[in-house]
């Protein structure tokens, strides 16, 4: 997937300072369905852990998606008893639907979720969200397949998990190690532009989110976790696996067809303020050279075969022109897709027309070489013609690469703004679903600490509006109006009221 180096939708990552009173930095979502037994112990244990170890204000959100037991009553009771707990109910099932609904309405700059069974050791929570707070990464996932992870589970689930991740690596070229671990976090500004692209509302939701984020060039941080399998899990393995495979096929088709303009999500070059004045940074030159050489070698063989065939019934000049024309069309199409990563039908005709201009230059070089050969040798051997054509094609190849890179498939660094995202009948893959917020560098004071603890009020008055959560299908068509959250930088002179030094 091609990514350009324009600022795109997302600005450079910034360290997230401690938010003001009433605004949590972290919102941990617990999606539940008929979990009346495990919900209260889970929430109380998580709350105690965050209160003891997390240096920022936080919120725990219970996302009940269509439970039929007493789970809603348990959630309401916890919300009334614990100040940092919120509960919401959706009238349709689906873990992805619940996460999309709550994350889209949350005002916290870091969003996370975990399964209600707390199979993952909570000591991994702070390492999970720290790279997002510091500005190092865009998403973070817990990995049960990392070397440093310690996992207790049966051979059946172990086999299914590893087989699924092998499928992702083989079919979608995914590089993250564990797509299914229910322990993930994302920055809110990233969620605002990625969620409109995610179509799945069930268990494949977070896998789709990760694949799209990785293809967009966003940074995914992996944390090794200690994980103990829940023997009472209600997940239907066969149905979930079938749905996941359908999702892999759907995403593969979308990526191959170029219907996801993920280049709009590119971060600017360099997140350090000193790097933000750098302009026109070359991107992917080494990879493009390798791809161009491979395509060029295959095209040359194809060209020589065609020339030999056409030479059986035509003169050298006509055979050369026909072979070069056919191979040029194939070469432009292959370089468009494989070397420069341009997908979809947009601009294909224009690219082929420009490729024909480049073909004309190559035709002049090769035809001139043949004319010079015939002038020097009255009736040259076929092998001599091929040798001269190979030399002329090498010169034409160098010129063709330069023209392709600079003229036919240049990096688009000055794309104009695009309208904000909106769900409509065109579907989640419509190109206009991308808000455009041109990055404007700001001057920030130097930061002294990675974490600056802030005292949490006893009863925070949050701007979190429960009315922004809509039940059922309406929640899937929510519109984001505020793509970023105004944050004040942490300054060295700021002090912690709990520091008595």
Nearest to 178 by CA among 224, 216, 217: 224
Spatial strand order of the sheet with 139-143 comes to 85-90, 58-65, 26-32, 110-114, 183-187, 139-143, 220-224
Q: What is the DSSP string of 325-386?
A: HHHHHHHHHHIIIIIS---SSTTHHHHHHHHHHHHHHHHHHHHHHHHHHHHHSSS--HHHHH
Whether the CA torsion 331, 337, 340, 344 is positive or negative: it is: positive
**How far is the C-alpha of 80 from the C-alpha of 352, rounded, in Å?**
65
The H-or-E segment that residue 59 falls in is strand 58-65
Phi, psi for residue 228 in degrees, rounded to 5: -120, 125
Confidence at residue 271, expressed as pLDDT on a 0 to 100 scale:
52
pLDDT tens for residues 176-190? 888 888 899 999 999
Confidence at residue 415, expressed as pLDDT on a 0 to 100 scale:
42
pLDDT at 103 over 90: yes
Counting residues of the chain whose pLDDT is more than 90, the rounded percentage is 25
Nearest to 278 by CA among 2, 91, 7: 7
Report the relative pairing of strands 150-152 and 226-228 from DSSP bridges: parallel
More confident of the two residues 227 and 425: 227
Q: What is the mean pLDDT of the chain?
A: 76
Provide the b/e sequence for 171-181 (b: ≥16 CB within 10 Å). ebebebbbbbb
pLDDT at 80 over 60: yes
Which residues is 142 bridged to in the sheet? 223
Q: How confident is the model at residue 349 (pLDDT cuts 50, 70, 90)?
A: confident
**How far is the C-alpha of 25 from the C-alpha of 16, rounded, in Å?**
8
pLDDT tens for residues 186-217? 999 999 989 998 998 888 898 999 999 988 88
In contact, 216 and 266? CB cutoff 8 Å: yes
More confident of the two residues 401 and 41: 41
pLDDT at 421 over 60: no
Nearest to 201 by CA among 434, 421, 69, 31: 31
Confidence at residue 210, expressed as pLDDT on a 0 to 100 scale:
92
**How far is the C-alpha of 195 from the C-alpha of 88, rounded, in Å?**
19
**How far is the C-alpha of 257 from the C-alpha of 239, rounded, in Å?**
27
**How far is the C-alpha of 221 from the C-alpha of 137, rounded, in Å?**
6
pLDDT at 95 over 70: yes
Neighbours of 116 (CB within 10 A): 21
Give the 3-state secondary structure of residue 32. strand
Distances (CA, A) of 308 to 26, 188, 320: 67, 60, 9
Total-model pTM: 0.58
Confidence at residue 250, expressed as pLDDT on a 0 to 100 scale:
87
């Amino acid at each position: 997937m091609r990514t350009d180096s324009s600022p795109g939708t997302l600005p450079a990552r910034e360290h997230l300072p401690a938010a003001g009173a009433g605004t949590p930095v972290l919102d941990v979502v617990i999606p539940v369905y008929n979990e009346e037994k495990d919900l209260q112990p889970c929430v109380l244990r998580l709350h105690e852990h965050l209160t003891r170890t997390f240096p920022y204000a936080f919120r725990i959100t219970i996302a009940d998606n269509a439970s039929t037991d007493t789970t809603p009553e348990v959630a309401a009771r916890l919300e009334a008893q614990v100040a940092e707990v919120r509960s919401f109910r959706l009238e349709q099932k689906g873990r992805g639907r619940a996460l999309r609904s709550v994350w889209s309405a949350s005002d916290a700059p870091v969003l996370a979720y975990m399964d209600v069974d707390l199979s993952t050791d909570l000591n991994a929570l702070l390492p999970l969200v720290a790279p997002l707070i510091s500005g190092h990464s865009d998403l973070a996932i817990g990995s049960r397949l990392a070397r440093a992870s310690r996992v207790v589970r049966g051979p059946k689930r172990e086999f299914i998990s590893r087989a699924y991740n092998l499928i992702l690596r083989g079919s979608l070229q995914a590089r993250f190690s564990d797509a299914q671990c229910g322990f993930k976090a994302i920055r809110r500004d990233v969620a605002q532009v990625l969620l409109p692209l995610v179509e799945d509302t069930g268990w494949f939701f977070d896998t789709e989110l990760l694949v799209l984020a990785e293809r967009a060039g966003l940074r995914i941080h992996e944390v090794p976790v200690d994980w103990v399998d829940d023997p009472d899990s209600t997940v239907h393995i066969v149905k979930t696996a079938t749905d996941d495979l359908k999702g892999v096929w759907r995403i593969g088709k979308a990526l191959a067809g170029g219907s996801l303009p993920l280049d709009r999500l590119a971060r600017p070059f360099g997140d350090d303020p000193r790097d933000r004045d750098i302009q026109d940074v070359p991107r992917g030159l080494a990879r493009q050279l390798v791809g161009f050489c491979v395509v060029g070698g295959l095209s040359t063989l194809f060209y020589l075969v065609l020339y030999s065939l056409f030479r059986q019934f035509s003169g050298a000049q006509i055979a050369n022109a026909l072979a070069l024309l056919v191979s040029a069309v194939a070469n432009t199409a292959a370089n468009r897709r494989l070397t420069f990563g341009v997908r979809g039908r947009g601009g294909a005709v224009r690219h082929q027309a420009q490729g024909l201009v480049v073909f004309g230059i190559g035709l002049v070089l090769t035809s001139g070489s043949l004319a010079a050969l015939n002038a020097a040798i009255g009736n040259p051997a076929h092998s001599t013609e091929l040798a001269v054509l190979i030399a002329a094609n090498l010169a034409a190849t160098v010129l063709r690469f330069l023209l392709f890179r600079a003229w036919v498939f240049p990096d688009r660094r000055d794309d104009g703004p695009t309208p904000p995202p909106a769900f409509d009948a065109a579907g989640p893959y419509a190109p206009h679903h991308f808000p455009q917020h041109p990055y404007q560098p700001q001057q920030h004071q130097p930061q002294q600490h990675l974490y600056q603890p802030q005292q949490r009020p006893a009863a925070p008055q949050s701007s979190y509006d429960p009315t922004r959560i809509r039940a059922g299908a309406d929640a899937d068509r929510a519109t984001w109006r505020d793509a970023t959250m105004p944050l004040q930088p942490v300054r060295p002179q700021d002090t912690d009221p709990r520091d008595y030094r």
